[in-house]
Chains A and B, each alone.
Chain A
Amino acid sequence: MFLDAGTLQIAGESLDTGWFLYLAAILFVIGAVGVLVRRNPLVILICIELMLNAVNLTLVTFSRQLQNLDGQLFALMALTVAAAEAVVGLGILVDIFRLREVEDVDELSELRG
């Protein structure tokens, strides 16, 4: 283990917290790279959701480890906001799609200096 973050209890078993954090970090990096390299706006949105959920996973993990419900509450909050954000984002995408057939976000580059 590179990271000694302590342990947490699930169903009577004791697990290293580090695993959860590695998983979250990997998910976050996948999401970030996806946002960076993909061109399709829908995929970019999905990748953003992935990053959000990676963060949610760390929140829940620490909540479990510290026996404190604040983290879980915050994760629920983030989910709600993410849902709203997805609605708005998809709405904007649909609207843009109605105006012009966009498959590539690079085509939306009018706002430049």
Chain B
Amino acid sequence: MNWLPLTILLLPAVGGALLAGRGWRWPRMLTVIVGPGVVWLSFLAVLYGYFTDVNVDQSYWTWIKVGDFTLPFNLILDHLSLFMCLVITGVGGLIVTYAVGYMGHEDDPSYARFFCYMDVFVFSMLLLVLAGSFVFLIVGWAMVGLSSYLLIGFYYWRHSAVVAARKAFVMNVIGDIGMILGTFVIFFQFHAVTYHAVFAAMPKSDSGTLELAAFLFLVGAVAKSAQLPLHTWLPDAMEGPTPVSALIHAATMVTAGVYLIGRLHPLYDVAPYAHHTVAIIGALSALVAATIAIVQTDIKRVLAYSTMSQIGYMFLAVGVGAYAAAFFHLLSHAFFKALLFMSAGNVIHAMDDEQDMRRFGGLWRQLRGTSISFLIGSLALVGVIPLVGFFSKEFILGAVFSNPDPLSIWLWVVGFGTAILTGFYTGRMWWIAFWGKPSSSRPVAAPQEAPAVMLWPVLVLAALTIFGGALQSKTAIGFGTTLVEDYLRPVVGAIAWPANSLDVLLALATMVLALVAFGWAYLMYVPRVERRAAFLDGVAEVAMASPHPWNSRLPWAQTLLEHKYYFDELYDWAFVRPLDRLARWGDRGDRRVIDGSLAGVAGWVRGGGRELGLLESGYFRSYILVFVGGAVVAGLLVLWRASTT
């Protein structure tokens, strides 16, 4: 029996349990060791699995046995889940270590609570990727939703955080329902729920049932990965502490949808409609999120929308069947987005928790280490050679471009346009926050660089972002390595169509255009630093009421984007308010009809009791009189019966 998958899975659970039980009365030193320590131990176990090339589907015990149906508790540690575990525990370890510094100003119980939640999250995420059956996939799936809820609402005394946590939870539960229904469909079709049994019995051609199952799983993936139309929770989730945003809402949990579709690729390969829908949703989400990111002013929200956009790319890749490209972008995105979030966290930390980037400005000179890290992350997000983002994004775009499906060329156009928009909004974020003169309304005039515990993980991720491209360079520039593709091929298969010779050329063209957009943002935003400062002082309100030059020509577009295409308003109108009304109506019904009838019965009984109580005079003789009278009547009845028979 191979204990490695269980060891990887349970180490963070043990840490979480220890911190939950005793953490709040431990000295802080012990919390700091246990919290990140268990994640690193788990990472070491994963590394051991990587170097010994473990590839197992191990059943540990029988969970349910009904008739001829058996559900074992089995964990799969194949190349795909090992790959995911490397990301989760490796990047997760760096982020949890970073949190040691970032959460430093919390008081002791909250400090331990944070690491407890983080360990629980890592455990849930590992369960999600290691699970060998749909049932435990759902368990992990729901538990990451729970951890996400707990961590978004970590600052539970802030109303907005609680509301955001609730929103994320409800949205995720919509996805969970999709997952559960999909599993039911799979069960009815195959009478089994382990991946092994289901994929072995998978037919070669499509059937309506499998399409249904694939669409239902897509609902789960879309909700978890914040894709259209269930994306509205992700920007609000930025209410959580920044390490949470880095780990859960950028690097790992939100990519679970990509993992799901990659894991279930035998299902999607025979369900073409659902498979195409994945690609279309991905492309649209990438585009929509990139446009919204252009007008955001909260630095973490810009990053949140860019996360949604990059996950859109991953969906696009899995949707056309380029699974290796999607997973390489997942890895690359985990590196550079965690880097961006943690650098942003350093900035926010230095700025006394200010998140509005219009109030930063000129950080380049004062926070050199953080600024360089942020620039590396930004350029990786834009997709600049030789950073990892270039290789992964161009891998996806190249695979989509060369795909023979007639739909793919349109998806490529959307992806190409999004890449240029990405250059623009990333440039805007970078120039506004780090370049130019310091904003006059900046909360801290002379910010301090972050402590070493917060800087080192950032630098490690920066190094990974710089050199990560060496893993898989052939697909973007035409020569070099294909390590990721080779590693994942046993699980998700090779890309089924040959690469187009134009790919390399288009990759370079995309990069150049995105860089041009990055530079264009400089022209558009930097000369306005003085105006911006004036605006924030309230002097020249008219000048800064429209801080975006393109907006003077397209005011309706500005409004549309600032309202995020009115998704929140639409959901509010279509679901929240009607349900609220229904709840109020139900509440009235509950109070009047149900409570009313019960109170009526109770009142009737009480009144009857009071009336009957009047018979109890308390006088002994009256009781006796009744008793004797009764006896006399009974006796007379007996006599009467005796005399008549």
Q: Which residues of A come within 8 Å of B, CB atoms?
A: 32, 35-37, 44, 105-106, 108-113
Known: A32-B628, A36-B628. A113 touches B621 (CB 8 A): no
Q: Is the interface of B mostly helix, strand, loop or mixed?
A: helix
Tell which of B161-169, B198-206, B610-618 binds the partner.
B610-618
**B558: min CB distance to chain A, Å:** 78
**B628: min CB distance to chain A, Å:** 5
Task: Decide if B620 is an interface residue (CB 8 Å cutoff).
Answer: yes
**B613: min CB distance to chain A, Å:** 2
B619 and A36 contacting across the interface, CB-CB below 8 Å? no
Which chain A residue has the least Cβ–Cβ distance from B631? Answer: A32
Task: Decide if B29 is an interface residue (CB 8 Å cutoff).
Answer: no
B614 and A108 contacting across the interface, CB-CB below 8 Å? no
User: Can you sample 11 A-B contacts with CB below 8 Å?
Assistant: A36-B625, A37-B621, A105-B619, A106-B621, A109-B617, A109-B618, A109-B620, A111-B618, A112-B616, A113-B614, A113-B615
**Bound-complex Cα distance A44 to B619 (A):** 14
**Bound-complex Cα distance A32 to B626 (A):** 12
**Bound-complex Cα distance A35 to B623 (A):** 11
B618 and A112 contacting across the interface, CB-CB below 8 Å? yes
B620 and A105 contacting across the interface, CB-CB below 8 Å? yes
Which chain B residue has the least Cβ–Cβ distance from A41? Answer: B620
Task: Decide if B624 is an interface residue (CB 8 Å cutoff).
Answer: yes
B616 and A36 contacting across the interface, CB-CB below 8 Å? no
**Bound-complex Cα distance A105 to B618 (A):** 10
| A-side contacts of B615, CB under 8 Å | 113
Q: Which residues of B come within 8 Å of A, CB atoms?
A: 610, 612-621, 624-625, 628
| B-side contacts of A105, CB under 8 Å | 619-621
| A-side contacts of B619, CB under 8 Å | 105-106, 109, 112
Contact of B616 among A32, A37, A108, A111 (CB under 8 A): A111
**B629: min CB distance to chain A, Å:** 10
**A2: min CB distance to chain B, Å:** 12
Task: Name 12 extra pairs, CB < 8 A, besides A35-B628, A110-B618, A113-B614.
Answer: A35-B624, A36-B624, A105-B619, A105-B620, A105-B621, A106-B621, A108-B620, A109-B618, A111-B616, A112-B613, A113-B612, A113-B615
**Bound-complex Cα distance A44 to B628 (A):** 14
| A-side contacts of B613, CB under 8 Å | 112-113
**Bound-complex Cα distance A86 to B610 (A):** 35
**Bound-complex Cα distance A113 to B612 (A):** 8
**Bound-complex Cα distance A105 to B613 (A):** 20
**Bound-complex Cα distance A110 to B616 (A):** 10
Q: Which 8 A-B pairs have the closest CB atoms?
A: A113-B613, A112-B618, A109-B618, A113-B616, A105-B620, A112-B616, A111-B618, A109-B619
Which chain A residue has the least Cβ–Cβ distance from B610? Answer: A113
Max chain A Cβ within 10 angstroms of own Cβ: one of B610, B624, B625: B624
B617 and A112 contacting across the interface, CB-CB below 8 Å? yes
| A-side contacts of B621, CB under 8 Å | 35-37, 105-106
**Bound-complex Cα distance A111 to B612 (A):** 14
**Bound-complex Cα distance A37 to B616 (A):** 19
**A28: min CB distance to chain B, Å:** 10
| B-side contacts of A112, CB under 8 Å | 613, 616-619
Which chain A residue has the least Cβ–Cβ distance from B615? Answer: A113
**Bound-complex Cα distance A69 to B625 (A):** 34
**A34: min CB distance to chain B, Å:** 11
| A-side contacts of B620, CB under 8 Å | 44, 105-106, 108-109
**Bound-complex Cα distance A110 to B619 (A):** 9
Which chain A residue has the least Cβ–Cβ distance from B612? Answer: A113
**Bound-complex Cα distance A111 to B619 (A):** 8
**Bound-complex Cα distance A81 to B432 (A):** 103
**Bound-complex Cα distance A108 to B625 (A):** 17
**A65: min CB distance to chain B, Å:** 18
**B305: min CB distance to chain A, Å:** 73
Max chain A Cβ within 10 angstroms of own Cβ: one of B610, B614, B617: B617
| B-side contacts of A37, CB under 8 Å | 621
Max chain A Cβ within 10 angstroms of own Cβ: one of B619, B620, B625: B620
| B-side contacts of A32, CB under 8 Å | 628
| B-side contacts of A108, CB under 8 Å | 618, 620
Which chain A residue has the least Cβ–Cβ distance from B620? Answer: A105
**Bound-complex Cα distance A112 to B612 (A):** 11
**Bound-complex Cα distance A44 to B620 (A):** 10
**B621: min CB distance to chain A, Å:** 6
**Bound-complex Cα distance A111 to B620 (A):** 10
| A-side contacts of B612, CB under 8 Å | 113
| B-side contacts of A44, CB under 8 Å | 620
**B614: min CB distance to chain A, Å:** 5
| A-side contacts of B625, CB under 8 Å | 36
| A-side contacts of B617, CB under 8 Å | 109, 112-113
Which chain A residue has the least Cβ–Cβ distance from B629? Answer: A36
**Bound-complex Cα distance A37 to B628 (A):** 12
Which chain A residue has the least Cβ–Cβ distance from B614? Answer: A113
**Bound-complex Cα distance A36 to B619 (A):** 11
**Bound-complex Cα distance A105 to B619 (A):** 8
**Bound-complex Cα distance A105 to B625 (A):** 14
Which chain B residue has the least Cβ–Cβ distance from A111? Answer: B618
**B623: min CB distance to chain A, Å:** 10
Which chain B residue has the least Cβ–Cβ distance from A109? Answer: B618
Which chain B residue has the least Cβ–Cβ distance from A106? Answer: B619
Which chain B residue has the least Cβ–Cβ distance from A112? Answer: B618
**A6: min CB distance to chain B, Å:** 16
**Bound-complex Cα distance A80 to B57 (A):** 83
**Bound-complex Cα distance A32 to B621 (A):** 11
**Bound-complex Cα distance A111 to B616 (A):** 8
Which chain B residue has the least Cβ–Cβ distance from A32? Answer: B628
| B-side contacts of A109, CB under 8 Å | 617-620
